[in-house]
Amino acid sequence: MKHFFAAAAMTIAVCAAPTRFSAAPKDGAGGTPTIRISAVITNTSGRPIPKLSAQDLEVRDDGAVIALETIGPRAGGIAPQEDDAAADDRERLADVRSSTRLFAILLDEFHVGAGAATDRVRDAVARFVREQLRDDDRAVVFKPLDSLGAIRFTKDRDTLMRAIATFSGRKGDYEPRSAFERNYVGHAPEAIVAARTQIVFSALRTMAMQLGEMRPATGAIVLVSEGFSSDDRTHAVDPRLPDLAAVVRSAIRFDVPIYAFDPDGEVRVRPAALAADDDDARAMLRRVAGETGGELVPDGADFSAGFERMARDLASRWVLTFRSPHGRDGKYHTLDIRVKRRDARVLAPAGYWTPLPVEPRRTIAAPPPFASGRMLHRSPIIDAWVGVTRGADGTARMLVTWEPSIRSGDTGGVRTITLTATTVDGRVLFTGDVASRQPPGDEPATATDRAAFDAPAGRVQLDMKIIGDDGRVLDNEARDVDVPDLRAPRKVLITTEIFRTRSAREFRAVVADRDAAPAPGRAFSRTERLLIRVPAYDPGGADPRVTVSLLNRWGQTLRELAPVPGVGAPAQFDLSLAAFAPGEYMLQVTAAGAAGETKEAITIRVTQ
C-alpha cells in the first residue's frame, strides 16, 4: 500500500508545492511574461533540420499569429534557475550531461492484453534497449504498481532486460496479484477499472516530475498501453485526484513529451459496444501524446521504427521563446506551430499555461494546513453525500449517507459500508456500519442509514469500506472534508440537502422527518418529486432569506421554486421533475442575511 500511497502523495505534492522547473518567467515590457516551449522539428524523413530562424516558423496563440523572439537548438532542455535546484539534487545529478538521453518506459500491464500483445511488447522494448540506447543514455522500465520512490535510471542493460522479461499484460483480468490489490483495490470490476486508471495517471504524472529534475539531460516518457477511457468522474468530484488533464499539464510544465505505443493497434471488426470502448482508449493515447509534444505509434508491427524515430526526436528539439499576449492570467492557451516549408514535421505541446501574478502564486504554493499523504479515492460503485450543519451549541455536525451508484450493476449488490471518521491527528469521531439510504415512508428512516456526529473545525478524514452482499470488500473510498469554524462564522452558511420521493405520501413523510437521509446521487428520474431542504445560519442571529431557482445548462432561469408552506426553518422547496426533459439542470441556492449573501450551485441530471 505504501508504494501506491507514495505515488499519490507525490502527485498531490505537485499541486501544492512550487514547481521547481517552472520558475516565474521574466516579464518583458508591459509585464508580459516570456514563454519558452520545446518543439521537435525535422524533415518528413525524421532527420534534423540544421538551420532554422524565427522567420521560418509561424506560431499561432489561441488562433492569432504572434512573433517569436528567439529560436535555438535545445541543449539539454530548459534549465531551471540555479536557486531552484536543491543542493542534494545537484549532487545526485552531477554526472548527468546535456548529451544524456533519459527514457522512462511505463509498461502498462493493466491495459495490455496477454498473449500476442505481451510478446510484441517484450520483443520491441528489448530490441530498443539493445539497439537504440547509447552508452551515455539512461532508462528505467517500470510497471504501474512499482514503487515510484525506488525508481532509478540506469545504464545497466541487464537490469532493464530483467524488468522487460517480467512484464505480463492482464487487460480484462481482475484477479489480484498482490496483497495491495487484494486489500485496497477492491473486487468489483468498476472499482478495479477506476483504481487502475488512477494508478496509471499517478505514475505518469510523478514520472514527468522526476524527469524534469534530471537536468541538463533531455528525456521522454514511453507509455506502452492499449489505452483506456479517461472519462473518470473522480477528478471532477475531488480535483486532488489525478486525471488525464493533470498528466498533460505536468508533462508540459516539466518539458517532457510522452510517446504512446499501442501494441494492439490493428484495425479489427468488433461489436459496436466494444468498438466504442476502443475509440475512447485510442483517443486517450492520441491526446496524451499529441498534447505533450510526443507521438502515437498505433501499429504494434511498427514499434521498431517508432522507437527509432523517438530516439532521433530527442536530438532534434528546439527552444522557442515568445511574449505571451495574455499577461499573467494563469490560463491555458492553445498553440499551433508550423514551419514554412513543405518537408517539415513538427511535434510540440498543444498549448501552455501563463504564470499567475506573484501574490496569487504564493498563495497557491503554500501547502494546506491539514495536508496529508494518504491516497484519496472515490469509488464508482456508490454515491456518498457529506454535509456539515451547525448544531444547537454552535459546533459542527457532520452527516454522511450513501446509496449504490447506477454504475454498480455488475458488483453483485452492495450491502453496507463501514465508515471511520478521524481527525488528522488520529482522533476517532465515528466508526460503524452505515446501511444504504432507505426510501421515505410513514415512519422515519432508521438511524443506521446515515452517520451523524460532531466534528471539530479542520480537516476530517472519511474512510469507507464497501461491503457486498456476500460479505466481500468490493472497494474502498477515502475523502477529506474541511470543516469550517462555526463558532465564529463570518458569512451565511448553507448546506443543501436533496431528497427523492416517488409519491405524495413519501413527500409528506420527508417534509415531516428532519432526520431523513438526503439522496447522495445527483441523477433523478422524471417520475420523481424532489424536496430541497436548505439549513442556513446567519451569524447575525436572524433566519436568512433562502431562495432556490432551477436553471438550464446555459444558466437561464426556468423556474423559481416555491417554498413548502407552513414548515418554518429550515426552508424547504418542492420540485416535481415530470415537466422537464431529460438532461442537465442546475439548482441555484441563495441565502441572504445580515452577514451578506451566500450562493451554491448544484448540478442535477434528469433521466427518463
Q: What does the pLDDT look like over 412-434, one tens digit per residue?
A: 578 889 999 999 988 999 999 98
pLDDT, tens only, 64-73 = 999 998 888 8
**The predicted structure's pLDDT at residue 16:** 32
Residue with cell 465564529: 488
Q: Provide mean pLDDT across the span 554-565.
A: 88
φ, ψ at 90 (rounded to 5°): -65, -35
**The predicted structure's pLDDT at residue 58:** 92
**For the chain, which domains are there?**
2-365 (3.40.50.410), 379-486 (2.60.40.10), 489-608 (2.60.40.10)
**The predicted structure's pLDDT at residue 549:** 94
Question: Could you give the CA distance from residue 503 to residue 506 in angstroms, rounded to a whole number?
Answer: 5
Q: Provide mean pLDDT across the span 552-556.
A: 81
Q: Provide mean pLDDT across the span 565-577.
A: 86
**The predicted structure's pLDDT at residue 51:** 83
Contact 400, 417 (CB under 8 A): no
- Supply the mean pLDDT for the chain: 79
Question: Which amino acid belongs to residue 1?
Answer: M
CA torsion 377-381-382-383 (nearest 10°) is 80
Winning range, highest mean pLDDT, from 191-195, 212-216, 218-222, 342-346: 218-222
Question: Could you give the CA distance from residue 177 to residue 511 in angstroms, rounded to a whole number?
Answer: 50
Q: Which three cell numbers stand for residue 345?
A: 514535421
pLDDT, tens only, 275-322 = 444 567 888 899 999 999 999 988 655 788 888 889 888 888 889 999
**Region of residue 529 (phi > 0: left; psi between -120 and 50: alpha; otherwise: beta):** beta
Q: What is the percent of the chain with per-residue pLDDT over 90, rounded to a whole number?
A: 28
DSSP type of residue 367? P
Q: What is the percent of the chain with per-residue pLDDT over 70, rounded to a whole number?
A: 78
pTM of the complete model beyond 0.75: no
As a three-state string, the secondary structure of 544-576 is: CEEEEEEECCCCCEEEECCECCCCCCCEEEEEE
Distances (CA, A) of 241 to 233, 382, 444: 10, 17, 37
58, containing H or E segment: strand 57-61
DSSP type of residue 542? S
Q: Is the pLDDT of residue 408 over 60?
A: no
Stretch among 256-260, 362-366, 568-572 having the lowest mean pLDDT: 362-366
Question: Could you give the CA distance from residue 140 to residue 98 in angstroms, rounded to a whole number?
Answer: 18
Q: Is 164 strand, coil or helix?
A: helix
Q: Provide mean pLDDT across the span 574-601.
A: 88
Distances (CA, A) of 141 to 144, 167, 177, 308: 10, 10, 19, 17
pLDDT, tens only, 216-248 = 678 899 999 999 887 544 444 444 556 888 889
Distances (CA, A) of 87 to 83, 84, 98, 386: 9, 9, 19, 44
Question: Could you give the CA distance from residue 477 to residue 458 in angstroms, rounded to a whole number?
Answer: 20
